[in-house]
Amino acid sequence: MRRHTQSGVTLMEMMISMVLLSFLSLGILFSMRVGLQAMDKANTRLMSNRRVIGAQRVLEQQIRGLMLVTADCSANDGQSVSTRIPFFQGTPQVMRLVSSYSLEEASRGLPHILEFMIIPGAENVGVRLVVNEYLYTGPRSTGSFCLGVGQDPMTGLSGPIFRPAEPRPTSFVLADKLASCRFVYREYLNQQVPPIERWLPAWIKPEMPSAIRVEMTPLDSGPSSLHVMSVTLPVRVDKDPMKVYGD
């Protein structure tokens, strides 16, 4: 009499196979998660490096486009006679100038009044460099930033008094996550032989500085990240703005 044998899988073998398959699936999912996290970190680092390069290029183009203009400066009472002054404000935390380059229109549009300022960062961690842009339409547009002419308490020299700079919802963020940031201005001492230079934390002279430096220190830095570097740019000014635009 012929006997029929039947082959099959026991319950124990099936359970072992399911456990091994579960471990294999878990390993694949973990590898995919690690890979996606690494790709996300690399993409974040790449975007951060691009922002650093872009911010430095924008600063270079904006400062190189500095224009010689004046401002009709008068007091807030509306009764004082306006005084025409060269328009430029330079302090460690605020810098105002007119440039032929703006973020809104690049170098193809109209000149803009640029209002650079250093403000606290997100959640008051570090600082950030922002800029406001206003359309330049003549001495009256720049004069709106001036509160009058007075005496500087530190130097005793007479100069314009500017209204405080404030960030707006439309402010452009040029650099973020900075440990520190400030503006300094170069002066040439031509009476020295040979002429020497010195960097000043504030600029209150009627002539333009020979160069502007934006000193930036990153809040966090790593070996694979671009460090935010200081930007030093010469100011090529060889004319008196009062003579050029005084008529």
Which pLDDT does position 193 carry in this prediction? 67
pLDDT band at 222; cut points 50, 70, 90:
low
Terminal-residue alpha carbon distance, the chain:
126
pLDDT band at 247; cut points 50, 70, 90:
very low
pLDDT single digits (tens) 87-145: 999 999 999 999 999 888 877 888 999 999 999 988 888 899 999 999 999 999 999 99
* Average pLDDT for 205-213: 87
* Average pLDDT for 199-221: 85
Query: pTM surpassing 0.85?
Result: no
Which pLDDT does position 212 carry in this prediction? 93
Give 227: exposed, middle or buried? Use CB within 10 Å, 0-12, 13-18, 19+. exposed
Helix and strand numbers (H, E) in the chain are 3, 12
Which pLDDT does position 55 carry in this prediction? 74
For the chain, give the percent of residues with pLDDT over 70.
74
Which H, E and C letters describe 78-147, residue by residue? CCCCCEEEECCEECCCEEEEEECCECCCECCCCCEEEEEEEEECHHHCCEEEEEEEEECCCHHHHHCCEE
- Cβ count near 152 (within 10 Å): 13
pLDDT single digits (tens) 4-27: 555 666 777 778 888 888 888 888
* Average pLDDT for 197-216: 88
Taking all residues of the chain, what is their mean pLDDT, rounded to a whole number?
Answer: 79
pLDDT band at 60; cut points 50, 70, 90:
confident
Residue ranges covered by each domain of the chain: 37-245
Is the pLDDT at 240 greater than 50? The verdict is yes
pLDDT single digits (tens) 134-191: 999 999 999 999 888 877 665 566 778 899 999 999 899 888 888 889 999 998 877 6
Read off the tokens for 233: 């740019």
Read off the tokens for 19: 């456990």
